[in-house]
Structure formats: structure tokens, C-alpha cells
Amino acid sequence: MMIPRRLFPLVTLSIAAALAGCASEDSAPGAITLTDGLGRQVTLQAAAQRVVSLAPSNTELLFEVGAGAQAVGRDVFSDYPAAAAALPSVGGSGSVYDAQAIVALKPDLVLAAGINTREQVESLASLGLNVFYLSNPSDLAGLFLNLQLVGALTGKSEPTEALIATLWARVEAVIDKLPLITTHYRVYYELDAPDPARPFTAGPGSYIHTLLERAGDQNIAGSLGSPFTSITSAEVIAQNPDFILLGDSDYGVTVESVRQRAGWSAIGAVQNDRVIVFDNDIVSRPTARIVDAVERLAKLFHPEVFP
């Protein structure tokens, strides 16, 4: 997740190459032609001024690159930043979007994301809409590529580059102190627990797993082999995590309810008051707030190194 300083130039070059794209011979001067995450070449005749976002992460990216004023619609789950709530909703609950509402907003760009299917993208494109699919990134380079893509599509490349430089500097500040960590913890991150006997957690391939591991600590779900999977209550008890992070507090899970689960009183995290509510949005949405998560986790686990 956190890329060593020596690799920064290589990452920058790979991002630049991905952004290069080739304007077709039929494109007008000033047109923008880029290849999206589905391998589709998308051409805008000019920087998008009316954008509909189909995912919370895309909505955040728009505001982060300085194109919030160009957003004219968003999915029902987009709740950050606060200004996004004022935008008209085009649905998205149950992965169902209101195509008529999207068309009525007259967007010159529709931003799809990893939660959207190719069929949804192609269906909207068949209505004459410019749809650009942003792949769900698995590391910081992928996140920064998405930022640059959104910046390029909306004519905000310059402020986007400044943002990325700031984000790199913040991540680098964490990387520089990692060798100072002397105590490494075992961590359980809970995503949801409709059945407390088989709660859902984050495994390899998820941002959450990568953040925990790169901070010098161990995700107890690291051997489960799936980014988002269930784990038995018995396995959590057996793994005996030093920290329990609750990313499901919005669903009614509390520190006290976790303490009351059968057998969990034997877990070190429970005994040492290390059951902590954590903002799941900043680790599950691939936006600039991932860097906030890097810093918060570092301070949470290692305050002696990250005061």
C-alpha cells in the first residue's frame, strides 16, 4: 500500500503512460481521449462540465480534484463531502439506477466505478451518454491514477497534481517512521455482523488488509484468501487479536455488544479496552481519505512513534 520513495519515479511514469491516451484523428482540438478500466476508449470534446457519479468514491474524487461544482448528480449512497447531499440522486440502491433521471440531468460525463457492471456501463452508453469506468484500485498508485483520470476528464489536472504531491508527502512521513516500530499487533477488523457467530471481515486484496499489514501489524484474517469474507466467532477468539476495530458501528454494533459476545471476554483486545469504533468509509472507499486512514491507524497502534 505504501510505496517506498525509490519507487515513486516508476509509479509516476506508469501513471503518466496510462493517462497518455491517444486522441483519435476525428477528435476536435482540445478533445480528451482516455481508456477506462474496461478497456473502452472514451472521448470528450472538452473537459466535462456536467458530471453524474454512480458511486460514493467517484463523488469524493470529483470534489477532491476541485470539480465538485461540475457534479450534477450522484448515487444515493454518496454522503461525503456534505455538499454532495445537495445533488440530485439517480438511485443505486440494490445496484438499480434511474436511467431516465441520469439522462434528464444532461451530463457530458457519467463516472462509473468498480461497483458497477459492464452491462450497466454499456446500457448507459447505448443512450448516447459518455460513460467512463474507474477501476477499483488495490494500492496507492491505482488511487492516484484514478485521481489523475478524474482531474484530466474535468480539466483539473493542475490542482490534482498538487493534491497528489501532498498525499505522497504524508504517506512518506509515515513510511520514514516504520523502522522505529518495535511492537507489532494482531488486529481484527469487523465490516458487518448480521450474525455475530459469523461476522464479515477484510482479507487479502482489500485496502483494509493492506493498511494493517503495511503499518507493521498483522490482520488475523490474512489467511482467509478473500478481500471480503466471513470468519467464525470461534476463529476470532482463537486468533486472540490485540485490537478489534469496528467498521460496522453504523449498523448498530457497539463496543459493549462486542464485549457481550459469547467467549469474547477471553480476547486480549476486550480485556485491554482495545475494542475501537473506526470510520469504515475512510478505508473502504478508494479516495484521498485513504491517506487519512494510513495516519489514523499508525497513531492508533503506535502512538509512541506517531504522536
pLDDT in tens, 115-170: 999 999 999 999 999 999 999 887 888 899 999 999 999 999 999 999 999 999 99
Q: Are 242 and 274 in contact (CB under 8 A)?
A: yes
Alpha-carbon gap, residue 141 to 145, rounded angstroms = 6
Mean pLDDT of the 221-242 span: 93
Confidence tier at 19 by pLDDT (50, 70, 90): low
**Residue 10 in grid coordinates:** 516508476
Q: pTM score, two decimals?
A: 0.87
Q: Are 90 and 101 in contact (CB under 8 A)?
A: yes
Q: Are 110 and 131 in contact (CB under 8 A)?
A: yes
Nearest Cα neighbor of 52 from 79, 77, 73 is: 73
Which residue intervals of the chain bear CATH 3.40.50.1980? 5-172, 180-301
Name the architecture of domain 5-172.
3-Layer(aba) Sandwich (3.40)
Q: Which CATH superfamily is domain 180-301 in?
A: Nitrogenase molybdenum iron protein domain (3.40.50.1980)
Confidence tier at 86 by pLDDT (50, 70, 90): very high
Q: Are 179 and 268 in contact (CB under 8 A)?
A: no
Would you list the DSSP string of 238-272?
A: HH--SEEEES-GGGT--HHHHHTSTTGGGSHHHHT
